[in-house]
Amino acid sequence: MPKQIVVMGGGSFSVEPEESLLDAYVLGLSAKPRPKICFVPTASGDSAMYITKFYEAFGDRAEACHVGLFGRPRTDMASVLTSQDIIYVGGGNTANMLAVWRVHGVDRMLADAWERGVILTGVSAGMICWFEAGVTDSFGPLAALRDGLGFLPGSACPHYDGEKDRRPTYHRLVHAGFPAGYAADDGAALHFVDTALAACVVSRPTVGVYRVAAEGASIREKALPVRLLSS
């Protein structure tokens, strides 16, 4: 089984009133009529509303479950996570999420699941976490997060068009030595197979994905080819 990660800059079931095209793309990768999908809402503090939205979005088209880490965590997390077709990481506070994962060993469980062919995906914090580094508002103002899981090399910046300070902050950080990486607008996703970028998909024609890197004293932002999804 190939190792796959799909990262979304923003959008998905939590904010889109109708069925998310990005979510449908991820479900389709499993090639199963009712894939097993597990939601990990740690970044939101296991928000009850977020979890409810997840079940409303996926309950009719997948075998949906979730793993909570606040309160008393379940004792079978490792077996639950590795038995899924898809693991979906929600948005919220990336730094807090990573810290909680490491306390409970979820970082190692996710690595094991990925190695076994479970598709990893997520939005916002669920985009940043798979990379070595990212642009986050976990500390209040936008800042560098340098201790991501590192499944994917380089850095990531979600909400590239959705928050006015994301782009200049990312440029400034990369110019100052932050790892080069990828930026995604809300409604855009990057699909990695192993650690290579295999596809870029968007749910609207006005959004995109970008490769951002330092070139000498300047920043190069390259728009990547994208495929517009349809329902």
Find the catalytic residue in 30, 138, 155, 159.
159
**Distances in whole angstroms, Cα of residue 99 to Cα of each of 23, 92, 104, 148:** 26, 13, 9, 10
| Nearest alpha carbon to residue 87 among 55, 110, 108 | 110
Which H, E and C letters describe 146-193, residue by residue?
A: CCCCCCEEEEEECCCCCCCCHHHHHHHHHHCCCCCEEEECCCEEEEEE
159: left (phi over 0), alpha (psi -120 to 50) or beta: left
Residue 159 appears among annotated catalytic residues:
yes
Find the catalytic residue in 14, 30, 124, 155.
124
Residue 124 appears among annotated catalytic residues:
yes
Report helix, strand or coil for 226: coil
Q: For residue 224, what are its two tokens?
A: 């990547």
Catalytic positions: 124, 159
